[in-house]
């Protein structure tokens, strides 16, 4: 293949759009600035088809790299400018009937700012200079006077104080490059769900174990008892670690009165288990390194032995275990028998029955496959709306009508054939079931039933 003129992967695509009215360069009078602008086109490229969905993605990073290369090489006027300008407005245009004070206030040129702070109670009458008239007619007259005043004043104020709003909002106007950059960011952010953006939640659910402190109470008892007995035997070792042999604490250690005092179980304020646990734990820091894990080990042992479970729970668990055992080893009478290997036997309980008509055994010889009626396509029956040519000659009309008639005749014949087929089939089946000759037939007749007319007999 010959080399492509433009490789899409290396090229940037733009759309030609009208320049925004808020663009700084939007000056329709001057000729050198074009009213058109190149705006980058964000292309979606189907990157892969995976399982049941296709996702449209863009290679944004590459787009940005391309942009960095290509855009600076093009003249600036071709792109929309970054800065935007709100078109200028003159306040006087907006408020034709404005009071001088208001205009002054807007323009910010009032020197007497103190005058604004204090308003007397009768400021209305003061404003109207004593003439207080609500009538609309007088009002216009009034305004007429004021307007004349304003016009005179206008010359004084002149063009220096034209009220101009120039807002440079760099957030609105964007250069082409910046736009691509923002698109890149947006696609990246979209990868993350809302819940994953932002700080981590403080409470992501407290994790708790299944063992209650109370269950371990006897463990703590055991441990503490053991420790107390040991204390008197391993004195030497304690001295080695700098412990005070009498109090079992570091020389500089703190004394905890609450923990060391004897526990009064009847005291409601004291949580016996927690005190015991804390005592046990406290020994961690004071005993030698081999001992601190003792409490922990004992707790673990107890957990493993499941002693901490309450009695009922334990029994329940045992019961479940028993049940499972039973099922595994249960042997059924039938399963026992079935599992014994035996000889392969072909057993048939059916008696050989001869058919009345042919004398051959029924259900033994292969049956001839019945002739299947040719199924015509159903679609032919649909009316697809064949147009009737407007300029149809008589012959054409005849032909068309003839065709339709033929089709109808054909379908009639088919219908008849189908009906006949059904009837014959039914009668065949009937004759196979009900006997027409022989002893059985006589029995039927005696009962008052005519065999060949037994169409009321339902064929199972």
Partner 1 sequence: MASAAVAAPPAHKPKAGYEQTEEEQSFHRIRITLSSRNVKSLEKVCADLIKGAKDQRLKVKGPVRIPTKVLVLTTRKSPCGEGTKTWDRYEMRIHKRVIDLHSPSEVVKQITSISIEPGVEVEVTIAQSN
**Shortest distance (Å) from residue 68 CB to partner 1:** 12
* Residues forming the site for partner 1 (CB under 8 A): 2-3, 5-8, 10-16, 34-38, 41, 69-70, 73-75, 77-78, 383-385, 387-388
**Shortest distance (Å) from residue 38 CB to partner 1:** 6
C-beta closer to partner 1: residue 18 or 317: 18
Beta bridge partners of 243: 250
C-beta closer to partner 1: residue 254 or 382: 382
Residue 60: CB partners within 8 Å, gap ≥ 6? 180, 183, 184, 187, 188
**Shortest distance (Å) from residue 58 CB to partner 1:** 15
Residue 59: exposure state from Cβ atoms within 10 A (0-12, 13-18, ≥19): middle
Of 262, 253, 261, the C-alpha closest to 284 is: 253
263 contacts 276 by C-beta, under 8 angstroms: yes
DSSP letter (8 states) at residue 23: B
C-beta closer to partner 1: residue 31 or 268: 31
Beta bridge partners of 45: 57
Residue 81: CB partners within 8 Å, gap ≥ 6? 23, 24, 25, 173, 175
Residue 291: CB partners within 8 Å, gap ≥ 6? 227, 283
Question: Is residue 40 within a helix (H) or strand (E), and if so which, with residue range?
Answer: strand 36-40
Concatenating the DSSP letter of every residue in 90-144 gives -HHHH-TT--HHHHHHHHT--S--HHHH---TTHHHHHHTT-----HHHHHHHHH
C-beta closer to partner 1: residue 41 or 62: 41
**Shortest distance (Å) from residue 10 CB to partner 1:** 5
**Shortest distance (Å) from residue 164 CB to partner 1:** 29
178 contacts 67 by C-beta, under 8 angstroms: no
**Shortest distance (Å) from residue 15 CB to partner 1:** 6
Classify 242 in phi/psi space as left (phi over 0), alpha (psi -120 to 50) or beta. Answer: left
C-beta closer to partner 1: residue 311 or 388: 388
C-beta closer to partner 1: residue 12 or 180: 12
- How far apart are the C-alpha atoms of 45 and 64, rounded to whole Å? 15
C-beta closer to partner 1: residue 72 or 130: 72
C-beta closer to partner 1: residue 6 or 304: 6
C-beta closer to partner 1: residue 2 or 268: 2
Phi/psi of residue 185, each to 5°? -65, -40
**Shortest distance (Å) from residue 57 CB to partner 1:** 20
**Shortest distance (Å) from residue 388 CB to partner 1:** 7
- How far apart are the C-alpha atoms of 258 and 366, rounded to whole Å? 100
**Shortest distance (Å) from residue 91 CB to partner 1:** 36
If one counts every other C-beta atom within 10 angstroms of the C-beta of residue 53, the result is 6
């Amino acid at each position: 293949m010959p080399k492509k003129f433009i490789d899409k992967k290396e090229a940037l695509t733009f759309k030609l759009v009208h320049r925004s009215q808020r663009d700084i360069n939007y000056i329709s009078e001057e000729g050198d600035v074009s009213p058109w602008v190149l705006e980058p086109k964000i292309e979606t490229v189907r990157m892969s088809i995976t399982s049941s969905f296709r996702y449209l993605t863009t290679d944004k990073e590459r787009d940005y790299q391309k942009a960095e290369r290509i855009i600076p090489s093009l003249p600036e006027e071709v792109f929309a400018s970054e800065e935007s300008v709100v078109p200028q407005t003159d306040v006087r245009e907006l408020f034709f009937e404005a009071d001088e004070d208001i205009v002054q206030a807007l323009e910010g040129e009032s020197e007497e700012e103190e005058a604004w702070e204090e308003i007397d109670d009768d400021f209305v009458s003061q404003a109207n200079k004593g003439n207080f008239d609500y009538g609309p007619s007088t009002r216009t007259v009034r305004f007429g006077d004021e307007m004349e005043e304003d016009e005179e004043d206008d010359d004084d104020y002149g063009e220096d104080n034209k009220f101009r709003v120039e807002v440079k909002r760099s957030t609105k106007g964007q250069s082409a490059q910046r736009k691509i950059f923002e698109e890149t960011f947006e696609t990246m952010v979209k990868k993350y769900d809302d819940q994953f953006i932002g700080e981590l939640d403080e409470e992501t659910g407290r994790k708790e174990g299944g063992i209650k402190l109370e269950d371990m109470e006897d463990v703590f008892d055991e441990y503490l008892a053991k420790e107390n007995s040991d204390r008197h035997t391993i004195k030497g070792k304690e001295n080695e670690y700098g412990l005070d042999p009498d109090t079992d604490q570091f020389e500089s250690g703190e004394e905890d009165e609450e923990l060391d005092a004897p526990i009064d179980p009847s005291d409601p304020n004291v949580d016996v288990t927690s005190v015991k646990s804390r005592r046990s734990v406290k020994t961690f820091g004071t005993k030698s390194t081999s001992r601190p894990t003792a409490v922990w080990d004992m707790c673990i042992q107890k957990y493993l032995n499941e002693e901490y479970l309450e009695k009922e729970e334990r029994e329940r668990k045992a019961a479940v275990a028993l049940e499972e055992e039973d099922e595994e080893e249960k042997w059924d009478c039938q399963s026992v028998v079935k599992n014994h290997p035996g000889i392969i036997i072909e057993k048939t309980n059916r008696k050989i029955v001869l058919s009345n008509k042919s004398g051959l055994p029924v259900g033994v010889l292969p049956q001839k496959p019945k002739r299947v009626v040719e199924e015509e396509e159903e679609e032919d029956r649909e009316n697809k709306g064949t147009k009737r040519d407007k300029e149809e000659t008589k012959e054409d009309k005849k032909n068309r009508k003839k065709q339709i008639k033929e089709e109808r005749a054909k379908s009639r014949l088919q219908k008849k054939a189908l009906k006949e087929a059904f009837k014959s089939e039914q009668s065949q089946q009937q004759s196979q079931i009900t006997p027409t000759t022989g002893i059985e037939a006589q029995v039927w007749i005696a009962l008052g039933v005519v065999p060949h007319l037994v169409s009321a007999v339902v064929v199972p």
